[in-house]
A and B are shown apart, each in its own frame.
Chain A
């Protein structure tokens, strides 16, 4: 069974640009969550999608947005990039989300903003 696939693995962008990251969950999984990981803040929850609907959202500015398609693939978009957006962006898939969900991570996208 294929794992969680994130593309691209690495990105370098300039301040003010926008970026779109992609996540394909494990086959059959309908929940996709996105996280930002930085050395100072650790893993921070961005948002979670289930059946094409955003169910949960973390405390990030509106420049961070996402969506989920009918095949459960998800994209995350960051507009007007700032230097502080440089981070490892991880997506995690789970079967249904919910209280006992077990989440499995992709390899991440390393975003560098210059």
Chain B
């Protein structure tokens, strides 16, 4: 079982709709969870971090964490074409940040 799993996509979402990105992780001892956005040819950019069960909102982004289910998600409201990118889920395990392979998101104009 991979440590951090994401659906590779592509996930196609109409402009203005909600994009929902999901991630599961295998180590119950994981303490911190992150979402990075990576545009093609660029480096990953941190967009959200979450440490406790529940929701955390920042602008159009909401991160959700369920430690019992070992599940992290990212919701993007009012999706824009500029949101088209690969979204990487990352988990801090023993002070190492482990990444999933990412989900490609395509916002349809």
Contact = CB atoms under 8 A, between A and B. Distances in A.
Interface of A: 33, 35, 41-45, 48, 55-56, 58, 90, 92, 97-108
Q: Is the interface of B mostly helix, strand, loop or mixed?
A: strand
Given A42-B100, A42-B101, A42-B102, A99 B43 contact: no
A103 B32 CA distance: 12
Contacts of B99: 35, 42-45
Given A55-B95, A97-B95, A99-B92, 12 more contacts: A41-B101, A43-B88, A43-B101, A48-B96, A56-B96, A58-B96, A100-B32, A101-B95, A102-B34, A103-B97, A105-B36, A107-B42
Nearest to A101: B92
Interface string B8-42: 00000000000000000000000110101000001
28 contacts: A33-B96, A33-B97, A35-B99, A42-B88, A42-B102, A44-B99, A45-B96, A45-B98, A45-B99, A55-B95, A56-B94, A56-B95, A56-B96, A58-B96, A90-B44, A97-B95, A98-B95, A99-B31, A99-B92, A100-B31, A100-B49, A101-B32, A101-B92, A103-B46, A105-B43, A105-B45, A106-B43, A108-B43
Nearest to B51: A100
B46 A104 contact: yes
Nearest to B86: A42
A99 B32 contact: yes
Nearest to B34: A102
Contacts of B42: 107
B97 A101 contact: yes
A43 B95 contact: no
Contacts of A33: 96-97
